[in-house]
Amino acid sequence: MKKSSHWRKVLIPSFIFTLITNLIYVSPSNAVPNEWIIVGSGWGHGVGYSQYGALGQALDGRSWQDILNHYYPGSVLADAPVDKQITVGLSQDKLAVFVRLDKSTDDAQLEMSIDGNPVGIISPGVIIRIESNGSSVVTSGGDDGRSESRGSGKKISFRISSGSGVINTNSGNPDSNPSSLLNSPGHRYKYGTLNVVYGGDNDGRADLYTSLTMRLVDQYLLGIGEMSSAWPKAALVSQVVASRSYGLGKINEGLKGNCGCHVSNNSTDQVYVGASKESSNWNDAVSSANTNSGQPAILTFNGKVITAYFASSTGGRTMSTKDAWGGNVLWSQS
């Protein structure tokens, strides 16, 4: 009995040891390999400048000039023409457009014109309604913007003529609630002239096109929403120069027929959000994106501005324009 009992005491621990050893044993087929192959991708077309790549380089201490030289090899900084105006498409194919001046100062006023003729000054808070009926029919006042007739025409324009404020505009259908649309976030603009153009009928329904025209080198850039304003200054300034160059390149291509604009306000071109983008960091980046002469900077190649393509990320390696879209652009190589 004692022998038998002693044998059982030894056997049980031995069995447990054998079981644990078998559980942690790794067969050669499951051994850790000597190398890994990771397959992935970036976000966007991958051509030109990588925004997250710019962030990484800025965190590593590289200057905004270094970042641009990395992504646009052979490009040269040059002074931008300061008088260029860019037109940004805000909405197309709409049946109704609503406009309101939101004031920042008590003397803010909104000037309205129809087909180039001034028709009056609009006070802050007054809702302007523009609908289509063979042309653009304009009314104003009341919660629905229908209290008073303001005339009709093919092109209705608005600009802040005095004081400080933002042009608030949104679009929808004739039965939309304009107050709800205008009180929603976004769609507020501090600079330039807002144009609502009658574009003809589409399947028996009239179309309205809304755009904003402003100075390229600073007013447009202040509303570009392509990069977090919390990122390092070197990344922000490099984005400003790329966006300014892209905008000028699109101006040189002329107005697009489908919107009467040089660029859209979305990622088809570059995201433009207007007044909501402005902050001390971003505004400082716009004012700092200059050449050594102190003028707003653009990127050029062989003396001509480049349409500086950029994307969110590239998966570690950019694509050339030849691989992405065809054609061989020397400043945009993989």
Secondary structure (DSSP) of 165-234: EEEEEEEE-TTS-HHHHHHSSS-EE-SSEEEEEEEEEETTEEEEEEEEEEEIIIIIGGGB-SS-TTS-HH
Secondary structure (DSSP) of 51-88: HHHHHHHHHTT--HHHHHHHHSTT-EEEEPPTT-EEEE
What does the domain layout of the chain look like in residue ranges? 49-83+216-324, 85-215
173 vs 313: which has the higher pLDDT: 173
β-partners of residue 297 are 79
User: Which two three-digit tokens encode residue 125?
Assistant: 């808070």
Say how many C-beta atoms besides its own lie within 10 A of residue 125's C-beta.
11
Of residues 227, 242, 225, 268, the one with CA closest to residue 89: 268
Mean pLDDT of the chain: 85
Whether 327 shows a pLDDT value over 80: the answer reads no
CA 322 – CA 47 distance, rounded (Å)? 10
CB atoms within 10 A of CB 119: 16
Nearest by Cα to 61 from 226, 233, 292, 311: 233
Share of the chain above pLDDT 90, in %: 67
Residue 235, token pair as written in the block: 């990344």
Q: What are phi and psi of 45, to 5 degrees?
A: -75, -20
For the stretch 223-251, pLDDT in tens is: 999 999 999 999 999 999 999 999 999 99
Tens of pLDDT, residue by residue over 100-156, are 999 999 899 999 999 999 999 999 999 999 998 777 889 888 889 999 999 999 999
Q: Is the pLDDT of residue 40 over 70?
A: no
pLDDT of residue 318: 52
Q: Specify which residues 139 forms β-bridges with.
A: 129, 149
Read off the pLDDT band of 320 (50, 70, 90).
low
91 pLDDT more than 60: yes
pLDDT of res. 20: 45
pLDDT classification of 16: cutoffs 50, 70, 90: very low
Whether the pLDDT of residue 328 is over 70: the answer is: no
Q: How far is CA 34 from the centre of its chain?
A: 43
Least confident piece of the model among 63-77, 123-137, 172-186: 123-137
